[in-house]
Amino acid sequence: MDKNQVFTVKIYFINPIDLLSVIVNTLIELEYEACAISDLDKENLLKILPENNRNVIFICIRNKLEIDNWLKYAEQLYQMKDTHIIIGAFVYDNIDQESKNRLLEQNISTIEFGTLKSNALGVMRNILTFFEAKGKRSYIRTKTYGIAEAYFYVKSREEPITAKITDISAYACSCEIDLTNKFFFEVDIYFSEILFVLGGIRVRTAAKVLGFSKLTPNIYILKFCTAKIDGGKIIYEESITPEISRKLHDYIRKCLKDELSEKFARLNEEKNPQLKVEAKHKEQKIENKKMNLKQKEDKVEQKFSDDKNTEDGKNETKIVENKQN
Task: Tell me if 266 is assigned to some domain.
Answer: no
Mean pLDDT (the chain, rounded)? 87
| 14-23: pLDDT as tens digits | 999 998 988 9
Residue 234: band (very low, low, confident or very high) from pLDDT cuts 50, 70, 90:
very high
**What pLDDT is stored for residue 280 in this prediction?**
60
| 17-44: pLDDT as tens digits | 998 988 999 999 999 999 999 999 999 9
- State CA 274 to chain mean position distance: 28
Task: Tell me if 255 is assigned to some domain.
Answer: no
Looking at the structure, tell me whether residues 43 and 108 fall in a common domain.
yes
Out of 130, 165, 183, pick the residue that ends a domain. 130
Looking at the structure, tell me whether residues 99 and 124 fall in a common domain.
yes
Looking at the structure, tell me whether residues 88 and 185 fall in a common domain.
no
The mean per-residue pLDDT over the stretch 119-148 comes to 91
Looking at the structure, tell me whether residues 126 and 223 fall in a common domain.
no
| 160-173: pLDDT as tens digits | 999 999 999 999 99
Looking at the structure, tell me whether residues 111 and 163 fall in a common domain.
no
For residue 11, the domain's CATH number is 3.40.50.2300
The mean per-residue pLDDT over the stretch 196-223 comes to 95
Please state the φ and ψ torsions of residue 94, each to the nearest 5 degrees.
60, 40
Task: Tell me if 261 is assigned to some domain.
Answer: no
Q: Is the pLDDT of residue 294 over 90?
A: no
For residue 212, the domain's CATH number is 2.40.10.220
Please state the φ and ψ torsions of residue 83, each to the nearest 5 degrees.
-155, 145
**What pLDDT is stored for residue 136 in this prediction?**
84
Looking at the structure, tell me whether residues 241 and 293 fall in a common domain.
no
Tell me the Cα Rg of the chain. 27
Out of 130, 155, 187, pick the residue that ends a domain. 130
Residue 320: band (very low, low, confident or very high) from pLDDT cuts 50, 70, 90:
very low
Q: How many domains does the chain have?
A: 3
Looking at the structure, tell me whether residues 53 and 149 fall in a common domain.
no
Looking at the structure, tell me whether residues 56 and 108 fall in a common domain.
yes
* CA–CA separation, 40 and 109 (whole Å): 23
Out of 248, 282, 301, pick the residue that ends a domain. 248
Task: Tell me if 267 is assigned to some domain.
Answer: no
Looking at the structure, tell me whether residues 97 and 165 fall in a common domain.
no
Task: Tell me if 85 is assigned to some domain.
Answer: yes
Looking at the structure, tell me whether residues 9 and 57 fall in a common domain.
yes
Task: Tell me if 306 is assigned to some domain.
Answer: yes
Looking at the structure, tell me whether residues 221 and 301 fall in a common domain.
no
100, 143, 150, 196 from 164: Cα distances, Å: 51, 12, 6, 10
In eight-state DSSP terms, residue 32 is -
Closest CA relative to residue 11, chosen from 129, 105, 166, 116 = 129
Looking at the structure, tell me whether residues 165 and 98 fall in a common domain.
no
Cα three-residue angle 58-61-63, rounded to 5 degrees: 175
Backbone CA torsion sign across 110, 116, 122, 124: positive
Q: Is the pLDDT of residue 317 over 70?
A: no
The mean per-residue pLDDT over the stretch 272-282 comes to 63
Task: Tell me if 257 is assigned to some domain.
Answer: no
Task: Tell me if 136 is assigned to some domain.
Answer: no
* CA–CA separation, 17 and 60 (whole Å): 7
Q: Which of 36-40, 179-183, 220-224 has the lowest mean pLDDT?
A: 179-183
What ranges make up the beta strands (E) of the chain? 9-14, 33-37, 54-61, 84-91, 108-112, 142-143, 148-152, 161-168, 172-176, 190-198, 201-212, 219-230, 233-237
CB contact at 8 A, 283 and 60: no
Range of the domain at 102: 3-130
